[in-house]
Amino acid sequence: MPSAGEGRPDAQAAGEETDLALYIHWPFCVSKCPYCDFNSHVRESIDQGQWRDALLADLAYEATQTPGHRLTSIFFGGGTPSLMPPKTVAALIEVAQRHWEFADDIEITLEANPSSVEARRFADLARAGVNRVSLGIQSLDPAALKFLGRAHDVEEALMALGTAQSAFARTSFDLIYALPGQSAETWEAQLRQALDFGTDHLSLYQLTIEPGTRFAALAAKGELESIDPDRAAELYELTGEITGAAGLPAYEISNHAQPGQESRHNLAYWRYQSYIGVGPGAHGRRGGASTQRHKKPENWLAALGRNSHGIVEERMIAAEERGIEALLMGLRLREGVDLYRIAKLAGRDPVDRAAIARLEAQGLLVRDDERLRATPGGMLVLDALLVEIISA
């Protein structure tokens, strides 16, 4: 896998200055899942023409801020972007190509629910230019799907997966594990079944109880119990062993892929490269600035009417903050980070070398010259490691 610091930052900088990832947020869902804390909303009706024009306007504003850049990836996220009309997706891709040069191998991903209704749109979405799909299957167990509040069943999900693999060059799907009461044997059986479908990428997330969700409310009332942390760690280690043996090693804490099939768009985030976001709640990092859009769809639309963009906050990021952000993101990756680049971004060396040496001795970090990465054991306690290694 290419190194984030390959050729040192001076050689990398030329590409970083012009390469750009684009995120487009579609905020609507048919229903709100009980574990979801994403910026998603349920509305009785949506004016599709209004939303197409609004997204195009937000896109046009970002183009004025990034002249001469090249898009390496586009990601349609949500919400449920597979609810977008394919002609809206096509319009956004077409106009994006007018604003920016496209990389020859540009990756264009769309998140989709595996419902039969949405699967019928896959061929049209592929014709619109989407070349990678990420399916929110979430479980291959009927009881777990019900617990997670998903609207599809297992048979419907597998039919959608087959349709996706026929329509798109690359297909990934998500599963959630470490559910209450889930045993290692049950999860292993489900994971091996998932690997048998032959996709080149899997996103495997442990269930977390996020504030503001229905699950959080149930947990507060004692009606939902989280899985034991030791059991969760056991399942995480088991997941890495099985996917690695199957040729889809973890390249990030929760993402597994055949070599060369990693999500290029998400790698741009984790490698702390430039990206822009349009649509409600979307974030961006460009030109040393952080941007955030209004989260509520109606507020975002109103801001567009006033300002020709949906930004609620834009600020320059201090050098030290940039370096620490790059460290926080990059250590999620198996490849780790280049400490030389981190220091250059921060304007100083922001890490405690003595703490790193101590954590190396404990088998939680590995340092090779200026490259630092977490071991599999270190990934389990990454948040705690980061607190220790960031110097005051």
What's the whole-number mean pLDDT along residues 276-283? Answer: 98
Among 270, 299, 317, the domain-final residue is 270
Whole-angstrom Cα Rg for the chain = 21
On whether both 66 and 164 belong to a single domain, the answer is yes
Q: Let me know: does 323 contact 300? Beta carbons within 8 Å.
A: no
SS3 content of the chain, % helix, strand, coil (to 5): 45, 25, 35
**Adjacent-strand bridge partners of 371:** 338, 368
Tally of helices (H runs) and strands (E runs) in the chain: 17, 15
Q: Please check whether residue 348 lies inside any domain of the structure.
A: yes
Peptide bond preceding 79 in cis form (omega within 30 of 0): yes
Q: Let me know: does 340 contact 94? Beta carbons within 8 Å.
A: no
Q: Please check whether residue 100 lies inside any domain of the structure.
A: yes
pLDDT digits (tens, 9 = 90+) for 21-76: 999 999 999 889 999 989 999 998 899 999 999 999 999 999 999 999 999 999 99
CATH number at residue 227: 3.20.20.70
- For residue 306, the model assigns a pLDDT of 96
pLDDT digits (tens, 9 = 90+) for 337-392: 999 999 999 999 999 999 999 999 999 999 999 999 999 999 999 999 999 999 86
- For residue 363, the model assigns a pLDDT of 97
Q: In the predicted model, is pLDDT for residue 6 greater than 90?
A: no
On whether both 156 and 234 belong to a single domain, the answer is yes
pLDDT mean across residues, the chain: 93
Q: Please check whether residue 332 lies inside any domain of the structure.
A: no
On whether both 53 and 169 belong to a single domain, the answer is yes
pLDDT digits (tens, 9 = 90+) for 126-150: 999 999 999 999 999 999 999 999 9
Residue 299's alpha-carbon distances to 54, 60, 153, in angstroms, are: 12, 19, 35
Q: Please check whether residue 313 lies inside any domain of the structure.
A: no
Q: Please check whether residue 296 lies inside any domain of the structure.
A: no
Q: In the predicted model, is pLDDT for residue 13 greater than 60?
A: no
Among 246, 270, 294, the domain-final residue is 270
- For residue 391, the model assigns a pLDDT of 83
CA distance 132 to 327: 28
For residue 350, the enclosing domain spans 337-389
pLDDT digits (tens, 9 = 90+) for 177-236: 999 999 999 999 999 999 999 999 999 999 999 999 999 999 999 999 888 889 999 999
- Angle of helix 48-65 relative to helix 297-307, nearest 10 degrees, comes to 60
The torsion angle over the Cα atoms of residues 355, 357, 363 and 368, rounded to 10 degrees, is 120
Q: Please check whether residue 281 lies inside any domain of the structure.
A: no
User: For residue 246, what is the DSSP state?
Assistant: T
On whether both 202 and 344 belong to a single domain, the answer is no
pLDDT digits (tens, 9 = 90+) for 65-106: 999 999 999 999 999 999 999 999 999 999 999 999 999 999
- For residue 116, the model assigns a pLDDT of 83
Q: Please check whether residue 106 lies inside any domain of the structure.
A: yes
On whether both 261 and 358 belong to a single domain, the answer is no
On whether both 116 and 238 belong to a single domain, the answer is yes
Percent of residues, the chain, with pLDDT higher than 90 = 90
Q: Which residues contact 176 (CB under 8 A, 6 or more apart)?
A: 35, 138, 139, 144, 148, 205, 206, 207
Q: Please check whether residue 3 lies inside any domain of the structure.
A: no
Number of domains the chain contains: 2
On whether both 129 and 261 belong to a single domain, the answer is yes
Band of pLDDT at residue 3, cut at 50, 70 and 90: very low
Question: For the whole model, what pTM was predicted?
Answer: 0.93
On whether both 369 and 234 belong to a single domain, the answer is no
Among 255, 270, 285, the domain-final residue is 270
pLDDT digits (tens, 9 = 90+) for 238-261: 999 999 999 999 999 999 999 999
- For residue 117, the model assigns a pLDDT of 83
On whether both 236 and 352 belong to a single domain, the answer is no
- For residue 44, the model assigns a pLDDT of 84
CB-based burial, 96-116: b 16+ in 10 Å, e otherwise: beebbebeeebbbbbbbbbbe
On whether both 242 and 99 belong to a single domain, the answer is yes
Band of pLDDT at residue 16, cut at 50, 70 and 90: low
On whether both 353 and 266 belong to a single domain, the answer is no
On whether both 255 and 348 belong to a single domain, the answer is no
